[in-house]
Amino acid sequence: MIDPFGRAVTYLRVSVTDRCDFRCVYCMAEDMTFLPKREVLSLEELDRLCTAFIEKGVRKLRLTGGEPLVRKNIMSLIRNLGRHLDSGALEELTITTNGSQLSRFANELYDCGVRRINVSIDTLDPQKFKTVTRWGDLAKVLDGVRAATAAGLKTKINMVALKDVNEHEIQPMLEWCHGEGHDLTLIETMPLGEIDGDRTDQYLPLSTVRSRLAERFTLTDIPYKTGGPARYVTIEETGGKLGFITPLTHNFCESCNRVRVTCTGQLYMCLGQDDMADLRAPLRASEGNEVLNDAIDEAIGRKPKGHDFVIDRDRNQPAVSRHMSVTGG
């Protein structure tokens, strides 16, 4: 799959549910209305859809949510998708999780062929964690991270940098992650969906964060890639890696190899654009994949050059109306 700008699309992120057992303040409102089940793709439909993309050249597949591990019987989907790892058609199957269910599923994830996961942790302060996630329990998440490590899963920690919330905890988080053998990726808050607060108040440029860290640590740029948009440095003092995902201060569109499918089968060619293609209708229209493949090809043909993310006082509305939990992280 080659887009109009010559970029090969080899990385698919699939949201398996819009539901989550957290209500993170930068992601969604506390009183969320979730999708009716009839609109959400079945596990069998998700398997068929992912397989179609793999047959068309996707080499890395990431399952996201909401929180993917709260989807009923989700492990049956992950186990079935593992067949593409066994055949060599798929190079990597990963998930992004809030960690709340990891203690239950870490060993089974490894058995299914998952070798690397991302866990979202924005603070190591239990009370602040509760405030940021509204419903989360930090101790349970950290137990999950330990279970993942014990199971053999390589764990990367994702931290959304939030002004006046956790900006002074970034150095302690970095030191904790590297001390535990985890890489850390910092993420700028993204203008997706209506939330209860003002994102302008949350926005912390990672250029500022990097400058602060450079006063304490030696940061060396490296070409390391995991398939996503992060730019990485090594920290000489800790020996670990630190990634920066900067959709606002420095967009990463020129090398974009990703598309996203929602749990309702809507294909978004760009996280920061509203243009999408409905794959649920062709998926349900026929047992064969000819119509589905045509819909995918047509959509890839209109993948845009880049996104339009902006956060400032003059643009207090989200860049796109859907929440991150709908599109998938």
Q: How far apart are CA 271 and CA 275, in angstroms?
A: 9
Please compute, for residue 65, the number of CA atoms within 13 A of its CA located in the half-sphere on the CB side. Answer: 25
* 253 carries a ligand binding annotation: yes
Choose among 229, 188, 225: nearest CA to 206: 188
Whether residue 210 is annotated as binding a ligand: the answer is no
Tell me if 190 is assigned to a ligand binding site. yes
Give me 296's structure tokens.
Answer: 């995918």
Q: Is 112 annotated as a binding residue?
A: no
13 labelled binding-site residue? yes
Adjacent-strand bridge partners of 327 = none
Tell me whether residue 10 is annotated as binding. Answer: no
Residues 6+ apart with CB under 8 A from 177: 157, 183, 184, 240
62 assigned binding-site residue? yes
Nearest to 141 by CA among 117, 174, 167: 117
Is 260 one of the annotated binding-site residues?
yes
CA distance 180 to 158: 14
Is 263 among the annotated ligand-binding positions?
no
User: Which residue is associated with the tokens 């399952």?
Assistant: 63
* 76 is known to lie in a ligand binding site: no
Interaxial angle between packed helices 170-180 and 206-214, expressed in degrees from 0 to 180 and rounded to the nearest 10: 70
Query: Is 20 known as a binding-site position?
Result: yes
**Cβ atoms < 10 Å from Cβ of 128:** 15
Q: What burial letters (b/e) apply to 139-163, b meaning 16+ CB within 10 Å?
A: eebbebbebbbebebebbbbbbbbe
- How does DSSP classify residue 79? H
What residues have CB less than 8 Å from 207, skipping those under 6 apart?
246, 249, 250
Binding site for S-adenosyl-L-methionine, by residue number, is 26, 66, 120, 190
Binding residues, as ranges, are 13, 20, 24, 26-27, 62, 66, 96, 120, 156, 190, 253, 256, 258-260, 270
Residues of each annotated binding site for GTP: 13, 62, 96, 156, 258-260
Summarize the annotated binding site for [4Fe-4S] cluster as residue ranges: 20, 24, 27, 253, 256, 270
